[in-house]
Amino acid sequence: MPVEPLSSLSLSTPTLPDTAGLGMADTGAGGDLLPRLLAFTAQWWADFAGYFAFDPALLSTPDMLARLMLQLALLFGSAFFSGSETALFSLSRLDLQQLRRLQHPHIDRLQALLDQPRRLIISVLCGNQLINIAAVANMTGILVTLYGDERAGVINVFVMVPVLLLFGEVTPKTIAISNPVRVSANLVAPLMTLWVRLVTPLRALLRLVSDNVTTWFVGHEKAPENILQIDEFRTLVDEVANDGEIQASERTLIYHLLDAGATEIVEIMTPRTRMAFIDGDSTLTEALERFRALRHSRVPVFRGQIDHLIGFLHLEDVLPLVLDAPDLSNKQLDDLLRPLVVAPPTKRVDEMFDFFQANQTQAALVIDEFGGVEGIVTIRDVLTFIFGHLSGEAKGQALYHERDENVYDVPGDMKLTDFQNLTNFGIWDPRMTTIAGVAFRHLDRLPRVGDRVSIEDCTLEVLQLEGLRIAQVRVSRGRASQDSRPEPIPDIAPPMAEDDERSRQHPKQADTAE
């Protein structure tokens, strides 16, 4: 016989006997209280269990069996859509590339799904919501049969919330995210492709409504950005290079192109201390002699102080005066100067191509926020950063000296990127751009000849100073022996004229301006 349902949704609670008349001093009353509490608890639990009691014979009816089978299918469907969403959107371009190399039978279907992410997400959400609604409705019918109309609604909440949360969301998403490639390729791709086609009319309607709502809130839709991120692209390049499809030099070139978008020109410019200038107060004859001695294609001209620059002196303007030897008595230096082109130090390397083209120049002064000159950057500096040294010889190679295995004597103003290309020691600093800068930052005081600093597995030793500037550094992998002494540094370049004191500090002065 079926158990008769309770007449009310509230459980009947037995009334605890009145103990107000029982004094605490009465030991008999104290001994009577515990049995009464136990009886109260037992009665409450019996009423609670009776609230969820049903006739097991109802489960064996054909209609109930069909509903139970349908409920299991709906729960599997909910798990499928939840796991599909997580698995598909956890795939990277590298995963797809690997599946294509393995010639997986479902890679084309998978690629077609991910090529239209908005269509995919709407289809998945439609399926998930429809399945969940159907599961709740079907469970309501089951519970009405078992418990009646009054209790079915409350019990449905207690049953379906944890069931959908556990078996329809958490568990399938956990499984999918642990192995998205296998789940997506073997299970999701064929079934989801079919579902995307079936739900096309509903998806079109929902997309039309959502487009209007989205436009009303946030404006017109923006073009989607590339899904492939830079770090993913680097990994893809590494895999292709390891497979021998591109050469190591091509991989390096690709890396430099990517780095150009994240590198500021302050890291590739010729610093002010290595720039050559012409005094604007000098006569035209003196300026021409100075220009010839510097052997640059363009030289900045200052007046009064170096930060007060008045223009560039270009080779194409000077060459006719040198070759034709005209009368210079009626000409002034200011007549030959071209306007300055300046750029902030935070400008990116990849932006300089458009910058030079827009300003119709090949060199720009780097000016800081206070108006001071930080350095000069040329088109040659940009090309060298991307393609390497244009002459085929690594920059600074004429000045560095390999004293022993993993021991190099290098000029202090050698760029860290150039030193990395020469030695592959891996010295890097987030703030400094030269070897001397790294040594100075770790010394944290004025340098002296013989000072040593250890950076990771490398040792830097100061060999030579020019004023307060570190001119020569010995870099060795591992800790250098304590009794080593700096050796004399051989002359690498012939002595230069006395009036060229500034330009002789570093060979890159020849590249100050093209």
State pLDDT tens for residues 442-491: 888 889 999 999 887 889 999 999 888 898 999 998 654 443 444 444 44
- For residues 102 and 206, membership in a common domain is answered with yes
- For residues 190 and 333, membership in a common domain is answered with no
- Alpha helix locations (H) across 102-148? 107-115, 117-147
Report the pLDDT value the prediction gives residue 396, as an integer from 0 to 100: 43
- For residues 439 and 371, membership in a common domain is answered with no
Only one residue has tokens 């550094």, namely 473
Query: Is residue 26 in a domain?
Result: no
- For residues 91 and 213, membership in a common domain is answered with yes
What is the identity of the amino acid at 285?
Answer: T
Q: In what order do the strands lie in the sheet with 407-411?
A: 401-404, 407-411, 469-477, 458-466, 452-455
445 torsion bin: left (phi>0), alpha (psi -120 to 50), beta (else): beta
What are the pLDDT digits (tens) for 22-75? Answer: 444 444 545 678 888 888 888 888 877 777 777 888 888 889 899 999 999 999
- For residues 213 and 238, membership in a common domain is answered with no
Closest CA to 299 of 307, 308, 290: 290
CATH of the domain at 497: 3.30.465.10
Report the pLDDT value the prediction gives residue 481, as an integer from 0 to 100: 45
- Residue 311 and residue 333: Cα distance in Å, rounded? 10
User: Residue 306 has which token pair?
Assistant: 């170096």
Residue 467's φ and ψ, nearest 5 degrees, are 70, -125
Q: Which residues is 415 bridged to in the sheet? A: 434
Burial of 289 (0-12, 13-18, 19+ CB in 10 A): middle
Query: Is residue 38 in a domain?
Result: no
Report the pLDDT value the prediction gives residue 74, as an integer from 0 to 100: 94
Strands of 159-277 (E only): list them.
Answer: 270-271
- For residues 336 and 416, membership in a common domain is answered with no
Q: Which of 352, 387, 422 corresponds to the end of one domain?
A: 387
In contact, 312 and 231? CB cutoff 8 Å:
no
- Residue 2 and residue 5: Cα distance in Å, rounded? 9
Q: Which residues is 302 bridged to in the sheet? A: 279, 309
Report the pLDDT value the prediction gives residue 245, as an integer from 0 to 100: 80
CATH of the domain at 350: 3.10.580.10
Rg, the chain, Cα only: 40
Query: Is residue 40 in a domain?
Result: no
- For residues 346 and 450, membership in a common domain is answered with no
Q: Count the alpha carbons within 13 Å of 435 in the hemisphere toward its beta carbon.
A: 32
- Residue 48 and residue 45: Cα distance in Å, rounded? 5
- Give the DSSP H or E segment for 31: helix 27-51
Report the pLDDT value the prediction gives residue 501, as an integer from 0 to 100: 42
- For residues 414 and 364, membership in a common domain is answered with no
- For residues 62 and 210, membership in a common domain is answered with yes
- For residues 328 and 377, membership in a common domain is answered with yes
Query: Is residue 13 in a domain?
Result: no
- For residues 287 and 376, membership in a common domain is answered with yes
Query: Is residue 418 in a domain?
Result: yes
- Which residues, 6+ apart, have CB-to-CB distance to 487 below 8 Å? 403, 463
Residues of the chain short of pLDDT 70, as ranges, are 1-31, 218-228, 325, 389-400, 478-514
Query: Is residue 396 in a domain?
Result: no
Only one residue has tokens 């040294």, namely 389
Query: Is residue 64 in a domain?
Result: yes
Report the pLDDT value the prediction gives residue 402, as an integer from 0 to 100: 76
The β-bridge relationship of strands 270-271 and 363-367 is unpaired
- For residues 372 and 420, membership in a common domain is answered with no
- Residue 402 and residue 411: Cα distance in Å, rounded? 12
Query: Is residue 10 in a domain?
Result: no
Number of domains the chain is built from:
4
Report the pLDDT value the prediction gives residue 154, as an integer from 0 to 100: 85
- Residue 374 and residue 296: Cα distance in Å, rounded? 19
3-state secondary structure of 206: helix
**Domain that residue 141 falls in:** 57-218
